Structure 1
Amino acid sequence: QMADRPKKEKSFKSSKNTDKGTAPAPSGPSKWQILGAILVSIITAVFLTHLIATPPIQAVEFTLEDPPILEKNFRLTQSSILLENAVYGPESIAEDPNTGRLYAGLKTGLICEIELNKITNEGRIVRAVRLTNASDCDGSYKSFPKCGRPLGIRFTPSGTLLVADAYLGLFEIDLIREKVFTLVRGGRQIDDSPFSPPLRFLNDVDVLPDGRIVLTESSTRFDDRDFMYEMLEHRPNGRLLVFNREKDSLRELISGLFTPNGIVVHRGKILLAEMGNARILKYSPSANSVSVFIDNLPGFPDNLRKSRDGRSIWLGIPVMRSEGDNWINQRPHLRELLSKLFSLQALEWILSFFTPSYGCVLQIDADHPTILSSWQDPSGSKVSSVSCAIETHDGHLVMGSNDNYYIARVPL
C-alpha cells in the first residue's frame, strides 16, 4: 500500500502585503539520504544479530577436492513427464517385482501406488496409504513432524514394502492384505547405547542377506525439514544403523558420518552415499570396517539403487558441485551468520540462486569405483534435481525428486 504523499505547506502573505514573495517550502531528505539510512539500518541489524543472536548451526571449515568435469549429454531431455502436478516430492521410488507397479513417497506423507499405461505412456495413482491419521498434510514445513516424510522405499525378498520415514520411523506394508506394521518408532533410543541420541532423521533402507534391516540416519542433530542446516554446519552428525526384527533390537554400526543418505546392499557389503563429502563409502558387516568406495563425485549423491542385472548402481545427483563451492566451505563464520539472518526458506532460495538447475543420474560399477555412464539434462529444463533413479522391468529409467511435482521416465 502506497503511503500518502506529504502535502506542501501553504505560504501566507501579510495582510499588509509587506512580503516581497512566497516563503520557500521546506525541503525533505534526498534519495541518497534515504538510501544511506536504509544501509545504516541493515548494517546495524547485521551487527546486532552477529553480537546477540545464537546461530542455529556450529559450522566448521572444510575443503573438498575440485569436482571432476563430466562430458555433457542430453539423454534426460528425452524423458516423459508423468503425473505432473499430481505428486509432490517423490523422493524415493520402488517397483513391485510381481506387478510392475511403482511406489513413491511424497512430501504430503503419502505412499502412493502408480500404474503405468504402456499404450498412452501415462501414469495413474491407483491407491495410497498414510502412516498417520494426521490432517492438513500439505507438505509444508509445519506439517512434516505430524504427517511424516517417507524417504526410503524398498521391497523385501518376501514382497512387502519397507518405508523409512524421516520422522515417524520404520514401517512394513503388506500390499496384499493392505496392512501397515510399525517396526521402529521415530524417536526410539538405540539399544545398548544409553548415551547415543535417539532417532531423529531416518533416510534410506535396505535388507542384508541374513534378513537384518540397515538404515541411514542423516543427522542426530537436525531433522529433515532443517536439512539445509545440516549441510551448512558440516559436522559428522549421521550414522548407519541395523535393526534385527527377530530380537527387536536397534544398534549403531557406524557413527560420525557426514549426512549419510542413500544405501544399497551388494554382495553382503553396504554401499552408502555420504552426501556431505560427495562420496560413496563401503561398509563390511563381517569385518566391521568402512572404506571409501568412490570419492570426489561431480555432485552431491542421494539414493543408490541396483540395476536389474545387479552389476551397476544408479545414483541420483540432485545438486551438482562447482569449483566455487570451497569459497563458502572455507568460511564457517559466514555460514553461521547467514543461518542467523535468514529463514530456512530464504536460505534455500539464496543458495538455489547460485546453484543452476541440472538433471543428472550416474551409473556406477557396483564392484569397482568407476562411473560407467551419465544421464544429463544440463539446463534442467525437462528433468532436474534427481534424488532417485530405478531401472524398471520394461527397460526404462524412472526418476524421482525431493522437490519436483512429477516423475520422469526415459528409455535405456
Structure 2
Amino acid sequence: MRHVEKLILFYLVVILTGCHFKKTNDISEGLKASNLCDTVSFAMETENAVTITVPPPTDNLKASDLFEDFKYIPLESSEKSFMGQYQGLCLYENRIFVHDIETNMIYIFNLQGKFINKVGKRGNGPGEFFQPESMTVDPFRKQLLVYDTFIKEMFYFTLDGDFLRSEQMAIRSNQNFKVISPNLIAFGVGRTRENPQLKEINKYNIIYTDSALNVRGGVHKGEENYIPHFSLPCFSSNNGQVYYTPPYASDIYEFVGDTLVSRFHLDYSKWDNQFNLEKLKELEANKKGGYYYNSIHANTPVLSSNRFLFFETITEETRDSFHSYYDKVTGKILSFDIYKIEAENDLVFTTVLASHGDYFIGYVSAEALIYLKEEREKKGIAMKPEISNMIDSLYTDDNDVIVLFKFKPIQKEWN
C-alpha cells in the first residue's frame, strides 16, 4: 500500500450574514457561531526564527549513521481491524490512533498492536461519519475528536472509542486541527472561499474556536492566501507542543498559548527553483498548479521530536525527493535519500506521520518486511530474533506495521 495525497474539492458553502450571524435554511439547528465583533486577529511573533539551510542529500550513508534506535509494532489484522491507507496517526496514553481513509474510520490499538475499538461508521446516526477529514486527541479533556468536513460536524469519543456526542460547526476546514489550550482549537482552513460567512476572519489560514466550537478569530494572515485547495495536514504535535507548517512557505511555527510564534525557517536558496510567492502571483491561473508541484519546498507537516525536526523536501522530480533532520541542540542538519541508505540493520519505513517524545512514527507494509527478510537470508545476514519472529507472523495483506525510530545526534558537518 502506498501513501498518496488526497485531493478534495468542495462546492458547498454556507451563507451567513451580519456581525451577529443569522440562521438560514442551509444551517442546521445545532450551528454555533460567536459574535465576531469581539475578536478577529490573534497575536503572531515572527522575529528571531532560526534559519536552517537545507543541504542536498549526503551520499554513501549507512543506517547506523542516522538511527540510534527503532522498534516495530504490528497492528492486529482481523475482520474488525483491517485498514487500507493510513492518513493520520497519533500515540496517546498507551493507545495508537490510526485514521484510515479507505474505510473512513478511526482504529484504536494498544502499544502491543492489539485491537481495541473501531470508531465511526458511514451514515447519519449517532457517532456515524460521512467524510472524516482529520482527528486529534484533546489532552485536556482526554477525548478523541473527529471532524467531518462534509457535514461540518465534530464528533467526541472516549479514548477507548465510545461515542459521547457530536456538535455542528460554523466553519469548514479542509486540513487538520489541534487542541492548543484548554479552551482553544486551531483549524487549518486553506483557501479562503470555504468560509465566506466569516468575513474578515476568512482571510486567515488558521481559525480559532473555543472548546464549544464558537469562532473566536484567526491568525497567520498574508496579503494573499496562496495555499492550494488540497487536503494537506499543516499541524503536528509532540509532548503537548503544537506546530504549524504552512504549505509551500517553508516556515515552522509553534503555538505558545494563543500566540503563533515563528521558530524556524527552511532556506532552499541552494536550489534555483525554490518556491517564490511573488513569482506565483505573476503566473496565469492555469499555470499556478504546475508551479506548486515543480518548485522545491518542504512537504507538510514538519515533525518535531524532543530534539529533532524531521521533514521531506519535494523536488522538481518526485523520485529525487529527500528527507532531512535538524538537531536543535547542535544546530546541524543532515539530508538523505531513504532509498539509497546502506541498510545494514533491520529498519525500513515508507511514510512518517507523527512523533512521540524522542521518536518519529511511520509505517511500512507487511509485504515490504517479508521481502526485507528474504533479501537478508539470500545475503546470509542474520536478523534480530525478535524482528525475524515478528515478520514470520505476518501475511502480505496484513495491516501496515507501525515503525518508531530515533535519530542520532548530529555532531559534525556532513556536506
Do Structure 1 and Structure 2 share a fold, with TM-score over 0.5? no
Provide TM-score, normalisation by structure 1: 0.40
Provide TM-score, normalisation by structure 2: 0.40
**Structure with greater proportional helix content:** 1
